[in-house]
Amino acid sequence: MKNWTSGYMADIAYTYGYYTELNPLRIKLAFLSQGLEYPEVGTACELGFGQGVSTNLHAAASVVSWSGTDFHPGQAACAQEFADVSGSKAKLYDDSFEELAAREDLPEFDYIAMHGIWSWISDHNRSVIVDFIKRKLKVGGVLYISYNTLPGWAPFAPMRHLMTKHADIIGADGSGIVSNIGGAIEFAEKLLDTNPGYARANPQIGERLKSLKTQNPHYLAHEYFNSDWHPMHFTTMADWLESAKLTFAGSAHFLDHVDALNLTKEQQEFLNEIPDIMFREAVRDFMINQQFRRDYWVKGARQLSKLEQAERIRELRFILAVPRDDVPMKVKGSLGEANMTENIYTPILDAMESNRIHTLGELEQAVEASRVTFAQLLQAILVLSSQGSVAIVNEENVIKQSVKQSQNINRYLINKARSNGDIGFLASPVTGGGISVGRFNQLFLLGVLQGKKEPAELAETAWQILAMQGQKIVSEGKAIESPEDNLAELTRQATVFKDKMLPVIRALKIF
């Protein structure tokens, strides 16, 4: 009955996650910061799209023609429904990777993306994927791939193996994988209570187990309990992709581009003495104990001249994607948490506060009087973009063409928020992707759709929906009991929404 799954966890559906790194618009900043030419993405494909949230938000918020597959038919059906609602014409299938590779109705792609899937499939399926990339990725095209990485996963890999065996062997028959996961974690905790040598040699294992207990069981099932699970060294990944003629272009996680947050001065000097780029990247993984990589690879890297790089990067457009007051002034890199330098970040954020679109060149001029250098500005934009505080912006013609699709899917998602908060993102044609908008703010947007304007009216709309389902607001871990107190809390949140969040939502053309 389960042969079609190829060992992948298909008993339960994946979570409704959104992953901003899959947004092809972000390629521009990553590539130009490395001095590389980027492709204009007109066709894209996601392999293993889960519920299809990322694929559909990116398809709706752009003019890119998306295709993709996820061989869980329930997830593929959900994803196709999203596409139908938006009108993006994304072509989403429930094919296996082999079946997708055999299709004759697919175009060549400027961009192919995979989030996490590589770590959870067999070597046979990896070979199929590499062959697909070799045949279907255009010259100059980009592969985005994220995967569990060594050495960061090395300490926990034996415990993961033991928990998987417990779920297979000891787990109660017929109780379902979610129940078996809970039992496996409980067993692992009891094992650690005996103070085994493994735990003494790896003291961080206990904290890792505690964190697992706080996570969605559906996520844990897919992340930890597949029959195939293979963290991989960066150099091993390079070996796999060599036959597809791919070259490493850089990290899709913008914070990785800021060495000062991840490496000591001594480590930076050590790395700079390594002439081979690929080996240098592998050594860097050991320095930061890399656990998860998010990378761009390109079929035919083209280096820009310094002048071309300087001119092109200044043309990139950005917008503040959150209320100015909500920008965190701390950032966490591999070296730990660091304060963001106020005399650099304050002028930049002040210049962007109106939620207007600015080119990087315009921002450079705006902060010149504050003596912020272009290098400092670029580093700040990378940091702010990694937080989601700032986003790169589509061209005006793309924004105009994708507004209707974005708002179609947003109205659909807002309507679904009446029953649950599974999808906490909406599409922005300005940024070409998803923007975090929580359930209550989506319910307030529903009130705006109904013509409500004042916070009290928006709160009443939301409370009627929650009360009808017997739901209550949780504050500091406790449910608020009385209707009056629930309504008061919703009114407070609606006031913040109207004053701070709604102007941003309108600037991003989400609504």
Do both 179 and 54 map to the same domain?
no
Which residues constitute the domain of residue 491?
Answer: 447-511
Do both 250 and 268 map to the same domain?
yes
Residues of the chain with pLDDT > 70, as a percent, come to 95
Please tell me the predicted confidence (pLDDT) of residue 174.
Answer: 57
User: How far are the Cα atoms of 39, 188, 388, 496 from residue 76, in angstroms, in the given order?
Assistant: 28, 34, 28, 37
Distance, in Å, from the CA atom of 469 to the CA atom of 491, rounded to the nearest integer, reads 19
Do both 194 and 245 map to the same domain?
no
* CATH number of the domain where residue 39 is located: 3.40.50.150
Q: How far from the centroid of its chain's Cα atoms is residue 502's Cα?
A: 23
End-of-domain residue from the set 298, 328, 357:
298
Do both 240 and 219 map to the same domain?
no
Do both 73 and 215 map to the same domain?
no
Least confident of 1-5, 309-313, 359-363, 467-471: 1-5
In a domain, 426, yes or no: no
Do both 21 and 131 map to the same domain?
yes
Distance, in Å, from the CA atom of 140 to the CA atom of 238, rounded to the nearest integer, reads 18
In a domain, 415, yes or no: no
Q: What is the mean pLDDT of residues 173-180?
A: 65
In a domain, 342, yes or no: no
In a domain, 165, yes or no: yes
What's the domain count of the chain? 3
Cβ neighbourhood burial of 179 (10 Å; 0-12, 13-18, 19+): middle
User: How far are the Cα atoms of 77, 232, 479 from residue 440, in angstroms, in the given order?
Assistant: 27, 40, 15
- Could you give the 3-state DSSP secondary structure of residue 473? coil
What confidence category does residue 64 fall into, taking pLDDT thresholds of 50, 70 and 90? very high
Distance, in Å, from the CA atom of 298 to the CA atom of 305, rounded to the nearest integer, reads 18
Residue 313 near residue 33 (C-beta atoms within 8 A) = yes
pLDDT digits (tens, 9 = 90+) for 428-453: 999 999 999 999 999 999 999 999 99
Do both 27 and 85 map to the same domain?
yes
End-of-domain residue from the set 197, 224, 251:
224
Distance, in Å, from the CA atom of 293 to the CA atom of 97, rounded to the nearest integer, reads 22
Q: What is the mean pLDDT of residues 335-357?
A: 95
Least confident of 153-157, 163-167, 440-444: 163-167
Please tell me the predicted confidence (pLDDT) of residue 260.
Answer: 95
- The interaxial angle of helices 205-212 and 157-169, nearest 10 deg, is 50
Do both 128 and 205 map to the same domain?
no
Least confident of 3-7, 227-231, 378-382, 480-484: 3-7
Find the DSSP H helices in 61-204: 73-86, 97-102, 123-136, 157-169, 177-193, 197-201
What is the number of helices (H) and of strands (E) in the chain? 22, 16
Please tell me the predicted confidence (pLDDT) of residue 8.
Answer: 46
Do both 72 and 192 map to the same domain?
no
Do both 89 and 220 map to the same domain?
no
Do both 102 and 43 map to the same domain?
yes
In a domain, 406, yes or no: no
Do both 249 and 193 map to the same domain?
no
Residues of the chain with pLDDT > 90, as a percent, come to 83
Distance, in Å, from the CA atom of 423 to the CA atom of 437, rounded to the nearest integer, reads 9
Distance, in Å, from the CA atom of 243 to the CA atom of 134, rounded to the nearest integer, reads 7
As beta bridge partners, residue 317 has 359
pLDDT greater than 60 at residue 5: no
End-of-domain residue from the set 241, 266, 298:
298
Instruction: Evaluate the omega torsion of the peptide bond into residue 151 and state whether it is cis, within 30 degrees of 0.
Output: yes
Q: Which residue has the tokens 């002048």?
A: 307
In a domain, 401, yes or no: no
pLDDT digits (tens, 9 = 90+) for 102-131: 999 999 999 999 998 999 899 999 999 999
In a domain, 183, yes or no: yes
In a domain, 98, yes or no: yes
pLDDT digits (tens, 9 = 90+) for 216-234: 777 777 677 777 888 999 9
The pair of structure tokens assigned to 343 is: 């005399």
Give Cβ neighbours of residue 506 (< 8 Å, ≥ 6 apart).
none
